[in-house]
Amino acid sequence: MATEQITLYGAKICPFTQRVEMALYEAKAGYSRFEVDLVNKPEWFARDVNPASKVPAIAKPTAAHKRPPDQPSPLSTKLTESLVLLEFVADLYPNSSIFPTDPILRAKSRFFIDAVTTRFLPPYMGPIAHAKSFEPFWDALDSIQRLLPEDKVFAISNEFTVADMAIAPFLGRMEVWMKNDIGAYPKGEGLKAAEYFFNGERFKRFVRYFDAIKARESYKHTIDMEYLRNAYAARFEPLRAKLQEAAAAQAAANANATTPTGKTASS
Q: What is the pLDDT of residues 235-257, one digit of tens each?
A: 999 999 888 888 778 788 888 88
Residue 51 banded pLDDT, cuts 50, 70, 90:
very high
At 63 the pLDDT is 59
Residue 85 belongs to a domain: yes
pLDDT higher than threshold 90 for residue 46: yes
Same domain, 231 and 110: yes
Q: Which residues contact 162 (CB under 8 A, 6 or more apart)?
A: 23, 86, 87, 90, 98, 99, 109, 113
* Number of compact structural domains in the chain: 2
34 and 156, same domain (yes or no): no
Per-range mean pLDDT, top range of 68-72, 217-221, 256-260: 217-221
If you average pLDDT over residues 70-86, what whole number do you get? 88
- Average pLDDT of the chain is 92
> In the chain, which ranges are continuous DSSP H helix?
15-26, 43-48, 82-92, 103-115, 121-124, 126-130, 135-145, 162-179, 189-199, 204-214, 217-222, 225-256
pLDDT of residue 85: 97
Lowest mean pLDDT among 21-35, 71-85, 180-194, 237-251: 237-251
Q: What is the pLDDT of residue 250?
A: 78
**Could you tell me what percent of the chain has a pLDDT over 90?**
80
Same domain? 84 vs 119: no
Any idea what the CATH number is for the domain that residue 36 is in? 3.40.30.10
- My answer on whether 117 and 201 are in the same domain is yes
The verdict on 87 and 116 lying in the same domain is no
| pLDDT over 50 (residue 265) | no
Q: Does one domain contain both 195 and 127?
A: yes
Has residue 263 been placed in a domain? no
Residues 38 and 156 in one domain: no
107 with 91, same domain: the answer is: no
- Split at pLDDT 50, 70, 90, the class of 66 is low
| 267 domain-assigned | no
Query: What is the Cα–Cα distance from 141 to 207, expressed in whole angstroms?
Result: 11
Of 73, 96, 119, the domain-final residue = 96
What's the pLDDT score for residue 73?
78
pLDDT, residue 259, reads 57
Does the residue 200 lie in any domain?
Answer: yes
The upper half-sphere exposure of residue 232, i.e. CA atoms within 13 Å in the direction of its Cβ, equals 27
User: Which range is least confidently modeled, 43-47, 71-75, 154-158, 175-179?
Assistant: 71-75
49 and 137 in one domain? no
Please say which residue of 96, 119, 142 terminates a domain.
96
Q: Once rounded to an integer, what is the mean pLDDT over residues 77-90?
A: 95
User: Quick one: 218 and 121 in the same domain?
Assistant: yes
| Residue 68, pLDDT score | 79
Do 20 and 46 fall within a single domain? Answer: yes
The predicted model gives 197-206 an average pLDDT of: 98
pLDDT of 211 over the 90 cut? yes
Could you tell me the pLDDT band of residue 2, with boundaries at 50, 70 and 90? very low
- Count Cα neighbours of 145 within 13 Å in the Cβ-side half-sphere: 17
User: What pLDDT, on the 0 to 100 scale, is given for residue 4?
Assistant: 55
* Full residue range of the structural domain in which residue 165 is found: 103-244
End-to-end CA distance of the chain: 78
Do 231 and 201 fall into the same domain?
yes
Considering all CA atoms of the chain, what is the largest pairwise distance in Å, rounded to the nearest integer?
83
Asked if the structure places residue 252 within a domain, the reply is no
Whether residue 1 has pLDDT greater than 60:
no
User: Of the residues 74, 96, 118, which one is the last residue of a structural domain?
Assistant: 96
